[in-house]
Every structure is written in structure tokens, then in C-alpha cells.
Amino acid sequence: MNERFLPTHVGIIMDGNGRWAQKRGLPRKMGHRAGASTFKEIARYANKIGLKYLTAYVFSTENWKRPQDEVDSIIALLRSYLDEMDGYAKENIRVRFIGDRTSFDDDIRGKMARAEEKSKNATGLTLILAINYGGRAEITNAARRIAEEAAKGMLQPEEITEESFSRYLYTNDIPDVDLIIRPSGEYRLSNFLIWQSAYAEYVFMDGVLWPNFKPADLDAAIEEYHHRSRRFGGLSNQNG
């Protein structure tokens, strides 16, 4: 695929792990395990085709509502994946995490910081993992920090613009998402990148659950994206 034709930033809502497992009579955690290996394959593929930013929705602020053993199995997968992330620097993949890290144990937070630090000079794909991420929490946190600065007199209300506000988000130095892909037949955002997706294109894929998602499905979504006309409120198509 020609690099010139790629969206800058793709977001993926990796949904359908549980249903994939249930269909096979397996426990849901096996679906998460299969989903994790699909994720690794897609991240490598995205880097190979020259994509600049890929954000994957790994765990939402609402996913804590699930049974404790399911949450534990997801965190265990995260822990072992974080150890593998050391290899990304060599593959020229830069790793970033967005979401509230304070809910995680010190060892997980340390591994996240190490993965970011080790890969910070990579110039290929920026792989962003949304973990304990919620768009509303992100916006609320930004508003709280701005209010604190204003209360201290460090910031005037008129200095708050869309541009300055967005610098308080987790994604402060990351361009807005261009394309959001959601497999599994659900047609919603579920609190993913709600600020950053104001002008995103959406591709919902009915026929595929995340563990079955293939590089060809990413290609197909990007192809679909190219047939969209992005006007950003104006009259001319600014896509491509």
C-alpha cells in the first residue's frame, strides 16, 4: 500500500473477544488471549505499511464493572505483554499509553514508563495503548487541571481555546484520529477518543470479531476511508 494514501492516525476498538471465545465454548479469558495476539500482529503490520499513529482501545474506565476474574485475566495479559514491549524499540515502534495509570500497581506503571522511555526515539509507528481510558474522564481531568491553574492565576479564562484545551488531554502531542475501526457489529464509541474523533471517519465491521481481525481487514478499512469525502464543515474534500 502506498504511504501517501494512509490516514495519519487510526484508532481501533478491539471488540468481540468474549463472543469469539463463547462461540468456541471457551472461557472469555481465552478470547482476550487470542485478541492480544491479534493486536501484536496488527501493530507490526501497521508499522510495516508505514502508518504513523495507531491507537488501540485495550481497557476502558467502564471495564472494571466486569467480573473480577475477567479483569484479573486482562491485567495478567497486560503484564506479560509489557515485558515483550522491550523489543519495539528495535522495530522502530514508539510506545505510548493513554488513560489513568494511578489505578495500577507500581510494577505495571514502572513497566509502562520503561516501555515509553526505551522506545521514545523510534521514528516509525507510534503505538498508543488506551488502558483504563475513558474520553469523559480525560476531558474532566483536563478541565480540573485548567481550573487549578486558573485558580492560581497562572491562566486567564480567555486563554482557554480548543487548541490550548487539547494540550491538557492525554493525547496532547498526537494528531486527531482520522479513522476509527470497530469490529464485532457494535456501532458505538463506548467512550473512546470522544474529543479527538470530532471529524473522524468510522468503519464498523459486522462480520469480524477482534481475534479474527486480519491485516487484510485493516487494508479494507483504509480503502473504505479513501472513498469518504472529508469536508470538515467546508465544501471541498480534504481527504488525500
Contact with Mg ion (CB under 5 A) among 15, 138, 178, 201: 15
Q: What residue ranges bind ligand IPE (CB under 6 A)?
A: 13-19, 57-60, 63, 74, 184, 186, 188, 190
Q: Taking the complex as a whole, how short is the minimal distance between the CB of residue 239 and ligand IPE, in angstroms? A: 26
Tell me which stretch binds Mg ion (CB under 5 A): 12-20, 60-68, 115-123, 171-179: 12-20
Please indicate whether residue 63 is annotated as part of the active site: yes
Query: Do 133 and 169 contact (CB within 8 A), yes or no?
Result: no
Residue count at the site for Mg ion (CB under 5 A)?
Answer: 1
Q: Nearest to residue 31, comparing CAs of 184, 207, 240, 167?
A: 184
- The catalytically annotated residue of 2, 47, 63, 176 is 63
Query: Do 201 and 232 contact (CB within 8 A), yes or no?
Result: no
Please indicate whether residue 178 is annotated as part of the active site: no
Q: Taking the complex as a whole, how short is the minimal distance between the CB of residue 66 and Mg ion, in angstroms? A: 10
Question: Is residue 97 helix, strand or coil?
Answer: strand
Sign, CA torsion 54/57/61/64 = negative
Query: Do 30 and 211 contact (CB within 8 A), yes or no?
Result: no
Distance CA 55, CA 135 (A): 13
DSSP state at residue 36 = H
Q: Taking the complex as a whole, how short is the minimal distance between the CB of residue 16 and Mg ion, in angstroms? A: 6
CB closer to Mg ion out of 15 and 178: 15
Binding partner selected for residue 56 from ligand IPE, Mg ion, none, CB under the kind-specific 5 to 8 Å limit: none
Q: Would you please indicate which residues are annotated as catalytic (active-site) residues?
A: 15, 63
Provide the binding-site residues for Mg ion, judged by CB under 5 A: 15
